[in-house]
Amino acid sequence: MLVRRLPSKTAHQFGEHAKMKLKVLIVAGDGIGPEVTAEAARILRSVAEWGGHDFEFHEALIGGAAIKAQGTPLPSSTLDTALESDAVLLGAVGGNEFNSLPPDRRPEAGLLQIRQALGGFANLRPAFAHPALAANSPLKPEVIDGADILFVRELLGGLYFGEPRQWDREAGSAWNTMRYTRDEVIRVARIAFELAQKRRKKLTSVDKANVLEVSQLWRATVTEVAKDYPDVALDHQYVDAMSMHLMNTPRNFDVVLTENLFGDILSDESAVITGSLGMLPSATIGGQVNLYEPVHGSAPDIAGKGIANPLGAILTAAMLLRHSANLEQDALAIETAVRKVLEQGYRTADLARSEKDKKMLLSTQAMGKQVHEALNEIIDKRQAMHAV
C-alpha cells in the first residue's frame, strides 16, 4: 500500500507555530553591558512579536551598578526575580573603581553568586570563525578557515568555588582549592557528550592530569562517561598543550570539555580565532534557570561611547532562543543575520582593521539595527515560504 506522507515543510510549519511564553530577566550590569544587552533585547522583542510569542521582560541590577545603588553586587531582589524567570540575560560586570575591594565584595562576586544560585553548571561557549572576519585574526586564514568549536566550561566548581580559600595577610600566604567531585564531572561530561553527538561527534577533554590529582579524577571520570557514548570520539589534552593546538590547528576541535578556570582561559584565547572577543556568546545550562552572557566582559575603557560590539550579546540572545524557548529556527535566523551583516562589510570598532572596514564603521546601535533589518528579511521570507 502506498501511504502519502505529509510533506516535511508542513510538518515543520506546525512546530514553528507553537506559541512560546517566556519570562526573561535582563541584568545589564556594568561597562558596556547595558549598551550591548539593549541591542540583544530589541532583537528578542521583535522575534516574539513576529512569531506571536509572549515574552515578558524584567530588569534588575547586578555587579558594580548594584554596589553603587544598594551596597551589594547581588541584591536579593535581583536574585528573587532571577529565580522566578525562565531565562536570565546578563551583560557584564566589573569596573576599575572596584579593583581594590576584597573578592567577596567586588562586582564579580555578584556574577559568581548568581551563577551558583541559578545552578547552571555547563557553560557553552561557541567559537566560530566567520569567513567575513578571516582577515581580523592574527592567524593565517587557511588555519582558521572552517574552525567551529564549542567549549563546554564547567562553571560551578574548581578554583572559583573550592574551599578553603583565603589570603592570610599576616602570614603573607594565600590559597585557593581546585576541587571536583566525581558527580560534578559526570554531569557536565554528559552534557558535552550529548552536544558532541549533535555535532561532529568529537570531544576533547582538557586537564592537567600530569600534575594535578583533581585532573586525574577528571580524566578517569570523563573516560568512564565516554562508554555511554560510543559514537563520540574522545581524546584528552593537557591544558598547556591545548592552548598551543588551539592556535595551530583549531579545525581539529569540535566539542572541548574543561574545568572552570581552564575554560575561562581557553575561551578568551579562542577570540583569536573569531577575530574579536566581542563576537563570543555563551549559555549556561543544566540548572534551575539558564543564564546567558556574552564572554567579553565590561570593557570599561570603551563603556558609554556607543562603540561596543553588540554581536556577542545578539548571538547570546540566539542561544537563549535555542536553549530556553525551543525556537531553533529563530536562533538560526539570528546567526544568519549576523553572518549577513558581516558579509555586507559592516563593522564595529573592534572589528574594523582595514581602511575598507573603517568606511563601514557602525555604532553599537547602528550594528544592532543592521542585524535587526537582516533578521526581519530572513523571517519575512521564511513566513512567506510557509504561507504557500
Q: What are the residue numbers of the active site?
A: 160, 208, 240, 264, 268
Inter-residue contact 24 to 85 (CB < 8 Å) = yes
CA distances from 255 to 88, 228, 301 (A): 24, 17, 33
Residues in binding contact with Mn ion, number by CB under 5 A: 1
Residues in binding contact with ligand IPM, number by CB under 6 A: 7
What mask of x and - would describe binding to ligand IPM in positions 287 to 306, judged by CB under 6 A?
A: --------x-x---------
Inter-residue contact 35 to 306 (CB < 8 Å) = yes
94 binds, among ligand IPM, Mn ion, none (CB under 5 to 8 A by kind): ligand IPM
CB of 251 to ligand IPM, least distance (A): 24
Residues 216-275 that bind Mn ion (CB under 5 A): 264
Q: Which is nearer to ligand IPM, 34 or 51 (CB)?
A: 34
Residue number, nearest CB to ligand IPM: 108
List Cβ neighbours of 42 (8 Å cut-off, separation of 6 or more).
Answer: 368, 372
Q: Which is nearer to ligand IPM, 34 or 297 (CB)?
A: 297
Q: In this chain, which of 94, 110, 126, 157 binds ligand IPM, going by CB under 6 A?
A: 94
108 binds, among ligand IPM, Mn ion, none (CB under 5 to 8 A by kind): ligand IPM
List Cβ neighbours of 17 (8 Å cut-off, separation of 6 or more).
Answer: none
Q: What angle do CA 193, 161, 312 make, to 5 degrees?
A: 60
CB of 267 to Mn ion, least distance (A): 6
91 binds ligand IPM (CB under 6 A): no
Helix axes 33-51, 328-343, angle to 10 degrees: 120
63 binds, among ligand IPM, Mn ion, none (CB under 5 to 8 A by kind): none
State the Cα–Cα distance between residues 306 and 310, nearest whole angstrom.
10
Q: Which is nearer to ligand IPM, 51 or 281 (CB)?
A: 281
Q: Is the bond into 107 cis (omega within 30 degrees of 0)? A: no
Inter-residue contact 281 to 37 (CB < 8 Å) = no
3-state secondary structure of 335: helix
State the Cα–Cα distance between residues 40 and 372, nearest whole angstrom.
10
CB of 111 to Mn ion, least distance (A): 10
Residues 93-122 that bind Mn ion (CB under 5 A): none
111 binds, among ligand IPM, Mn ion, none (CB under 5 to 8 A by kind): ligand IPM
Q: Which is nearer to ligand IPM, 216 or 300 (CB)?
A: 300
State the Cα–Cα distance between residues 1 and 93, nearest whole angstrom.
63
Q: Which is nearer to ligand IPM, 33 or 368 (CB)?
A: 33
Cα 70 to the center of its chain, rounded Å: 28
Q: Which is nearer to ligand IPM, 114 or 327 (CB)?
A: 114
Q: In this structure, what C-alpha cell is assigned to residue 288?
A: 534551575
Q: Which is nearer to ligand IPM, 89 or 295 (CB)?
A: 295
3-state secondary structure of 104: helix
Residues in the chain: 388
Q: Edge-to-edge strand order for the sheet containing 283-285?
A: 54-59, 21-29, 87-92, 290-292, 283-285, 122-128, 148-154, 255-258, 202-207, 233-238
264 binds ligand IPM (CB under 6 A): yes
154 binds ligand IPM (CB under 6 A): no
CB of 93 to ligand IPM, least distance (A): 6
Burial call 143-152: b when 16+ CB within 10 Å, e when fewer:
bbeebebbbb
Residues 97-116 that bind ligand IPM (CB under 6 A): 108, 111
CB of 34 to ligand IPM, least distance (A): 16
CB of 333 to ligand IPM, least distance (A): 26
In terms of Cα–Cα distance, which of 210, 196, 208 is closest to 259?
208
Q: Which is nearer to ligand IPM, 118 or 295 (CB)?
A: 295
**Residues contributing to the site for ligand IPM (CB under 6 A):** 93-94, 108, 111, 264, 295, 297
Residues in the site for Mn ion, rule: CB under 5 A?
A: 264
